[in-house]
């Protein structure tokens, strides 16, 4: 599914229309996609900024699922306009897979986050790909330039996190995410991190 199809499905839903009616100033601020090739499960999620405290998350599946998340620290996130997104999701996955092939890396799972870098607000695709105990991380700019590309062992990352004192030290969201609207959430959604919780939400 490309982004235009994803947004079209979301914006036509009764859940989203109700949300926008109640939150006229809310705007799109991030997207979070998981492609699990091993278990054949995908997660397609977009986030809307409501206030310095609140983010509204929409998961696009057979139905639209809604969740609320609170910011751990008050922060105004900049809007992402659709016209700014110059690299569509299928193109991003193609870039990642081609780069992985060069490195003899076969991803079992790819996490892609559309977000702004905290230091300069540049819009990027933040990629984390998993294969066994190896992780490949990439930053892809809107001109398709690869800004960062590194491969690490999960054991190395675990040693770093142990020294840092918190595995979630980069998280900007907190708390359990309450389901709203008429649709019930997927079974694993209360345990799955939104764009801010596990994927370096703001860079």
The pLDDT assigned to 157 comes to: 62
Contact status, residue 67 vs residue 189, Cβ threshold 8 Å? yes
d(CA 152, CA 160): 12
Reading the block at residue 140, the tokens are 């892809």
3-state secondary structure of 154: helix
pLDDT of residue 162: 53
- At 154 the pLDDT is 78
Task: Report which of 190, 170, 173, 172 is spatially closest to residue 67, judged by C-alpha positions.
Answer: 190
Chain centroid to Cα 172, Å, comes to 13
Q: Is 123 exposed, middle or buried (0-12, 13-18, 19+ CB in 10 A)?
A: middle
Helix axes 3-11, 14-22, angle to 10 degrees: 70
What per-residue confidence (pLDDT) applies to 172?
44
pLDDT in tens, the chain (203 residues): 899 999 999 999 999 999 999 999 999 999 999 999 999 999 999 999 999 999 999 999 999 999 998 877 888 899 999 999 999 999 999 999 999 999 999 999 999 999 999 899 999 999 999 999 999 999 999 999 999 999 988 776 666 555 444 222 233 443 333 333 334 344 443 333 333 333 334 33
């Amino acid at each position: 599914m490309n982004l235009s199809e994803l947004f079209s499905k979301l914006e036509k839903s009764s859940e989203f229309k109700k949300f926008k009616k109640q939150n006229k100033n809310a705007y799109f601020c991030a997207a979070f996609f998981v492609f699990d090739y091993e278990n054949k499960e995908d997660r397609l999620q977009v986030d809307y900024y409501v206030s310095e405290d609140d983010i509204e998350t929409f998961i696009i599946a057979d139905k639209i699922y809604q969740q609320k998340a609170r910011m751990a620290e008050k922060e105004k996130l900049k809007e992402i306009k659709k016209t700014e997104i110059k690299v569509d999701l299928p193109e991003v996955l193609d870039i990642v897979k081609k780069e992985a092939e060069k490195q003899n890396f076969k991803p079992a799972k790819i996490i892609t986050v559309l977000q702004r870098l905290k230091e300069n607000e540049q819009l990027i695709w933040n990629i984390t790909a998993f294969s066994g105990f190896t992780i490949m991380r990439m930053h892809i700019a809107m001109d398709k330039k690869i800004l960062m590309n590194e491969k690490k062992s999960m054991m190395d990352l675990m040693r770093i996190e142990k020294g840092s004192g918190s595995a979630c030290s980069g998280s900007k969201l907190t708390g359990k995410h309450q389901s709203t609207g008429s649709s019930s959430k997927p079974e694993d959604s209360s345990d799955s991190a939104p764009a801010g919780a596990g994927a370096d939400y703001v860079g």
